[in-house]
Amino acid sequence: MPRFYMEATLTVDTSADLTETVFHHWCKVLRAQVGETATLFNGQGGEYQVELIEVAKKSARVQVLSFNPDNRTPAFHALLGQVMSKGDRMDYAIQKAVELGVAQIQLLTSERCEMRLKYDRDQKKLDHWQGVAVAACEQCGLNIVPQILAPLPLEQWLASELPATKLVLAPNKDAANVLTQATPNLALLIGPEGGLSEAEISAANTQGFMNWCIGRRVLRTETAPVVALSILNYHFAD
């Protein structure tokens, strides 16, 4: 069954107009006909099964049939601090982090950060990455869309109010099992291509971050959140 994100208030046993985006994708691209059903979610929790009851040239209307409250969130709440990278790598990191159940993504800049957002480009890029998160939710079944937060300098984020469990991916450090005492509410810091500097890792340690060394290989910045969040899903599995 097709599944779409739609920013609208939905109520069972009422009808609603499709947004332009959903109309285009479902009715134009997928050529949906009256009587077909789909799943809609609005990011406020849960999802709705709807039936297409009217299709016009530039609009369509659905009847809301039922509500499913399951958000499919994992058994942990992870705030990902991700230093930005150029090109498709950032899209990949956000997409896969969302599919693996991250709750929120804080974009960061650091000493070796490859990119800096500039004024008028800031919102355009943020909107794009938020769209990547929405598309990932449509694909994976997550009903709460993680927020992509505007970039902060690493040192500012380290000094902010964060969960008690704080982990920084740090290759070539002691391979201690840092998850034995980890709580389900946690912050995860991942550096840029080229890694965090020793001074940045030390600054993170000073703020209570524990070094998390996952194996003896150095992971790419876009691969690291996939591996880390996969391990967290396994560790905190019901």
What pLDDT, in 10s, does the model give residues 29-68? 999 999 999 999 999 999 999 999 999 999 999 999 999 9
Check if the beta carbon of residue 226 is closer than 8 Å to that of residue 100: yes
Name every residue whose Cβ is closer than 8 Å to that of residue 159 and which is 6 or more positions away in sequence.
Answer: 207
Closest CA to 113 of 157, 161, 169, 151: 151
Give CA–CA dist 54/91, Å, rounded: 36
Q: What is the mean pLDDT of residues 111-136?
A: 82
Give CA–CA dist 221/198, Å, rounded: 17
Topology annotation, domain 77-235: Alpha/beta knot (3.40.1280)
What are the two backbone dihedrals, phi and then psi, of residue 74, each rounded to the nearest 5 degrees? -75, 175
Say yes or no: do domains 3-68 and 77-235 share a fold: no
CATH 2.40.240.20 fits 3-68, yes or no: yes
Each domain of the chain, given as residue ranges in start order, spans 3-68, 77-235
Q: Is the pLDDT of residue 97 over 90?
A: yes
pLDDT digits over 134-181, tens only? 999 999 999 999 999 999 999 999 999 999 999 999 876 676 788 998
Answer whether 0.85 is exceeded by the pTM. yes
